[in-house]
Amino acid sequence: MIVTEQKPDREVLEAVQKYRRVFIIGCGSCATASRTGGEEECRSWTEKLRENGKEPSGYSIPQETCHVLLMKSTIRQSAEASSSDAFLVLACGAGVQAVSAASDRPVVAGLNSMFLGTTERVGEFLKYCSLCGNCVLSRTAGICPVTRCPKGLLNGPCGGMVDGRCEVDRTAACVWVAIYDRLKARGDQGKLAQMNAPKPYVSARQRKVEPVNISRKSAGRNAR
Amino acid sequence: MTRLSEALAGKEFVITAELSPRKGTLVTNFIKTVHALQGKVHAINITDNQRAIMRMSSLAASYLVLREGMEPIYQITCRDRNRLAIQSDLIGASALGIKNVLALTGDHPSVGDSPEAKPVFDLDATTLLHTITRLNAGSDLDGHPLKGATDLFPGAALTPQTEPLEPVLLTMERKISAGARFFQTQPVFDMDAFRSFATLTGRFGTPVIVGILLLHSAQQAQDLNAGVPGIKIPDVMIRRLGEAADPRREGIDIAAELIRSARNIAQGVHIMTVGQEKDLPVLLERISG
């Protein structure tokens, strides 16, 4: 689940300033679950745009806004969307860019994309993964220090840990102590005496994932 | 060999003091303090944007110390630089003659005066020590050979007054494997508690220099307790400072007492002040006798 939050109204209104007819695109997946880009939010932005002298031309909530082909057909099939000056997209960064790739008209991002969240209960998401491209969870007792330690340390705890608490937020538990507790319960805490090597920063190199070829020949190659 | 490494190897009781670089280019008072410490300490720790407050670089300030004929302990954190910048600074330090390095993770930017800064932490204290070990052996972190290896004496930080203690000890062990040759602790105010901690760390055989913080008022002590992670100043000390006619003198007395009891427990003391650098020479004069 990609967790998003609403941008401040002023920032969005500033970004749509130049455009008169604005079409809103929400998202039926993550942003609906995050309550940032569902039915309610699309209606509320329709009102806000109107109050600010704009001409909201309608809204659409595609199943997955992060799908370029789906965005192309969504825009093509809607006269209101096709005739708008700009799109206000209430979706994550991947959604905004899918709309941007599907149309040559300007897009305005209505949300900030926060993190890949683990759902605790409906509407409550925990910041557990940052899609860093190099998963260390097998070495850290299934708790991600890259995301959950404010410093993203691979070798902790740091000197800011006091009585099991984190230096950045005194009310929060130090994630490296949580990792230690888990390992200790398995008699495996000695792992902490071994260094985790510096992390390869790979995300800048990866631009695209190609479609997986499921033909028998290549499946054999992949299995090797 | 540095004066510090020789003293530690020779089991001398080491005395170091800490100076913060200035926020700005005016270094007159900084240099004055360096002069006042001449002959009184083995080395001077130069902090690296301590508490994430932006100041002159610790590399430049360490060089100012060296230029005045004193030995710096160049503190370097992982907060503000990636592995390229850290390695080039370390090579630069060694070439300038700055050899003692204290490898730190660094406080998070959110606690400092530029809270919106991007935290780097490409390396951490352990992998930084590992990097120094590599540079000393003549290659960079990625295995490329250096034209001229560094000659650095790396140390690390240690937090003695915290719970749980086991991860702290495991971290110490990890830092030693990565190359730490000495440790400096955060400020200690309870030498009895530190004595039992020292029995746990003694088995590693790596020298520990205990941190002493020079206090100057009861208010300051209370602020430190509330604001700085890991600082636990006992109530009885705060009372002493509060009741004293001259709290600054009382602070010096307290520090001198702590240093005296540290002599049998640690391999040295690392004296820190919070803006009371001018009292350092008085304290050093007191403990030299």
Question: Which residue in B80, B81, B84, B121 has the most chain A C-beta atoms within 10 A of its own C-beta, making it the best mutation to test that interface?
Answer: B121
Antiparallel, parallel or unpaired: β B153-158 and A107-109: unpaired
Q: What is the pLDDT of residues B85-96, one digit of tens each?
A: 999 999 999 999
Of A168, A184, A193, which has the smallest distance from its Cβ to B108's Cβ? A168
Looking at residue A170, what is its pLDDT?
A: 87
| Burial bucket for residue A138 (CB in 10 Å: 0-12, 13-18, 19+) | exposed
Identity of residue A181? D
CA distance B144 to B131: 12
Set of chain A residues whose Cβ sits within 8 Å of the Cβ of B174 = 155, 192-195
- Residue pairs between chains A and B whose CB atoms are closer than 8 Å: 102
Burial string for A140-153 (b: 16+ CB within 10 Å, else e) reads bbebbbbbbbbbbb
Identify the sign of the CA torsion B53, B55, B60, B64. Answer: negative
Residue B146, helix vs strand vs coil: coil
| Burial bucket for residue A184 (CB in 10 Å: 0-12, 13-18, 19+) | middle
pLDDT greater than 90 at residue A207: no
Longest dimension (CA), chain A: 65
% of chain A beyond a pLDDT of 70: 92
Taking the CA of residue B244 and the nearest CA in chain A, the distance in Å comes to 30
Antiparallel, parallel or unpaired: β B268-273 and B153-158: unpaired
Taking the CA of residue A47 and the nearest CA in chain B, the distance in Å comes to 33
Mean pLDDT across the stretch A94-105? 97
| Burial bucket for residue A165 (CB in 10 Å: 0-12, 13-18, 19+) | middle
Of A162, A180, A193, which has the smallest distance from its Cβ to B229's Cβ? A162
Q: What is the pLDDT of residues A142-182, one digit of tens each?
A: 999 999 999 999 999 999 998 899 999 989 999 999 999 99
Residue A192 and residue B171: Cβ atoms within 8 Å?
Answer: yes
CA distance B281 to A57: 75
Set of chain A residues whose Cβ sits within 8 Å of the Cβ of B107 = 160, 167
Mean pLDDT across the stretch B227-236? 87
Which tokens sit at A165? 């608490």
Set of chain B residues whose Cβ sits within 8 Å of the Cβ of A156 = 124, 167, 171
Boundaries of every domain in chain A: 2-114, 132-208
Residue A29, helix vs strand vs coil: coil
Residue B173 and residue A193: Cβ atoms within 8 Å?
Answer: yes
Question: CATH for A2-114?
Answer: 3.40.50.1860
Q: What is the pLDDT of residues A26-61, one digit of tens each?
A: 999 999 999 999 999 999 999 999 999 999 999 999
CA distance A161 to A179: 13
Identity of residue B166? E
Looking at residue A220, what is its pLDDT?
A: 47
Per the DSSP assignment, residues forming a β-bridge with B210 are: B269
Q: Are A118 and A140 in contact (CB under 8 A)?
A: no
Looking at residue B142, what is its pLDDT?
A: 95
For A48-141, strand residue ranges (E) read: 55-60, 86-89, 107-109, 111-121, 124-129
Residue with more model confidence, A123 or A68: A68
**Which own/partner contact pairs does A169-177 have at CB distance under 8 Å and 24+ positions apart?**
A174/A149, A175/A143, A175/A144, A175/A145, A175/A148, A175/A149, A176/A145, A176/A149, A176/B167, A177/B164, A177/B167
Of B83, B107, B170, which has the smallest distance from its Cβ to A189's Cβ? B170
Q: What is the pLDDT of residues B239-287, one digit of tens each?
A: 999 999 999 999 999 999 999 999 999 999 999 998 788 899 999 999 8
Residue B167 and residue A189: Cβ atoms within 8 Å?
Answer: yes
Of A161, A163, A197, which has the smallest distance from its Cβ to B127's Cβ? A197
Set of chain B residues whose Cβ sits within 8 Å of the Cβ of A203 = none
Question: What rounded mean pLDDT belongs to chain A?
Answer: 92
Q: What is the pLDDT of residues B112-165, one digit of tens each?
A: 999 999 999 999 999 999 999 999 999 999 999 999 999 999 999 999 988 899
Mean pLDDT across the stretch B215-244? 92
Looking at residue B229, what is its pLDDT?
A: 75
Question: CATH for B3-211+264-274?
Answer: 3.20.20.220
Boundaries of every domain in chain B: 3-211+264-274
Identity of residue A47? E
